[in-house]
Structures are given as C-alpha cells and as structure tokens.
C-alpha cells in the first residue's frame, strides 16, 4: 500500500506562492540591512558629517560703454609685477559712477588686501579708496596706480576714462607685433555707442 498522499494543483500552487513570499521577505530584509550598513559606513565610525556654508558678497553691477579694443597691459620693471593679475586694466566711467578692478593674483603668497596701496594721479578726474573702488569725478582721463607695501617698486597702472554721452573716450591698445615690437594704437570711441 502506498502511504503517500496526493497533492492537488491548488495546494501545490499555494505552497509555491508561500515559498516566493518567504524569498521576497528575505531579499527585502537583506536590502534594508545593506542600506543601514552603508549609512553607518558613510557616517565614518560615529563622527558626524560637517556642513559648510559659503556666503558670497556681491558688489553692485556697474555698466560701462562697450569697448571695441583690447585692454592695454603695463609691465613693471620688477619681475614680480608679472605675477599681479587684475580683472581690468582700463575703465570707462561716467561722472559719479564707481567700478573696481579685482585683483586675481598677488605678487607673493604673503601679500594680501591689507598690503594694497591705491592712489589717483589726478583726483580731480577720478578718486580711489583704500579698497580699490574707483569713482569718476569729472570728465577726462587719468591713471590709478596700484602698489604694495611689501613691494613698493611694483606699480600697476589702470587707465580711467571718465566721460559722458557727449564726450568721446580715448582707448589705447598695445599689441605685441610679429617682430617683437609693441604697436600702440589710439582710438576715439563715442561713449555709450556700440
């Protein structure tokens, strides 16, 4: 006599679905444990992650007439002057308008904002404060000189053209020619006209 019981298809299907449910539960449990372990490893043995907040101060946007020429570069005698990088070497301002050339690189790692010395060659045309903010006073052209307390022999010139809609601005361009000679061209540009 055969002691084995016969199983119907319905019971067999129920057993298969039960086995699949157990497997799905085990896989879900494994995924949850893996995610929790990964989170603990990311925290680095109980230390908390630091959040850094950076605040950027912006200066007022100052518009200048479009330039049709390239910027002129003044090379100082001291070789460290070539390490000084400015965002602008020439400015076009209206009377009462303010702009600032941003220093992108200093002559030495120990030099900073506190070592900057700014002066205007003609304060009747343009003035500059200790932070390098240049303001047009009256129509004309002058130079702002940037030097450093640590390097008094470095002087960087910034040409400032102060004008109005009725006053033409003069733009000077210096380009190194093919023969190694510097070619300087002067262009009269009506301020405010593209």
As averages over each run of 10 residues, the pLDDT of the chain (194 residues) reads 74 92 95 85 56 56 54 49 77 91 72 81 93 92 88 85 64 57 54 39
* Cβ-contact 160, 145 below 8 angstroms: no
pLDDT at 167: 47
pLDDT at 63: 58
Is there a domain that residue 153 lies in?
yes
* Cβ-contact 155, 167 below 8 angstroms: no
Domain count, the chain: 1
DSSP secondary structure letter of residue 89: S
Is there a domain that residue 73 lies in?
no
Is there a domain that residue 157 lies in?
yes
pLDDT at 120: 93
C-alpha angle with apex 149: 148 to 155, nearest 5 degrees? 35
For residue 108, the enclosing domain spans 79-190
Is there a domain that residue 90 lies in?
yes
pLDDT at 162: 93
pLDDT at 66: 55
Q: How many other CB atoms are there within 10 angstroms of residue 160's CB atom?
A: 26
Is there a domain that residue 93 lies in?
yes
Is there a domain that residue 58 lies in?
no
* Cβ-contact 159, 86 below 8 angstroms: no
Is there a domain that residue 131 lies in?
yes
| CA–CA separation, 56 and 53 (whole Å) | 10
The CATH code of the domain that includes 127 is 2.60.40.1080
Q: Nearest 5°: phi and psi at 16?
A: -65, -45
pLDDT at 61: 56
Is there a domain that residue 141 lies in?
yes
- CB environment 91-130: b (16+ within 10 A), e (fewer): bbbbbebbbbbebeebbeeebeeeebebebebeebbbbee
């Amino acid at each position: 006599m055969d002691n084995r019981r016969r199983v119907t298809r319905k019971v067999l299907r129920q057993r298969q679905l039960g086995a699949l449910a157990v497997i799905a539960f085990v896989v879900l449990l494994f995924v949850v444990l893996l995610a929790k372990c990964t989170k603990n490893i990311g925290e680095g043995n109980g230390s908390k992650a630091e959040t850094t907040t950076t605040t950027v101060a912006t200066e007022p946007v100052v518009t200048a007439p479009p330039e049709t020429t390239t910027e002129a570069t003044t090379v100082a005698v001291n070789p460290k002057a070539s390490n000084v990088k400015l965002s602008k070497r020439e400015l076009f301002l209206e009377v009462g308008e303010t702009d600032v050339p941003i220093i992108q690189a200093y002559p030495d790692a120990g030099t900073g904002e506190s070592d900057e010395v700014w002066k205007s060659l003609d304060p009747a045309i343009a003035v500059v404060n200790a932070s390098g903010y240049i303001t047009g006073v009256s129509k004309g052209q002058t130079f702002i000189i940037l030097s450093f307390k640590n390097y008094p022999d470095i002087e960087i010139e910034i040409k400032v053209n102060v004008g109005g809609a009725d006053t033409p601005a003069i733009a000077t361009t210096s380009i190194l020619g093919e023969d190694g000679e510097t070619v300087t061209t002067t262009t009269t540009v009506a301020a405010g006209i593209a």
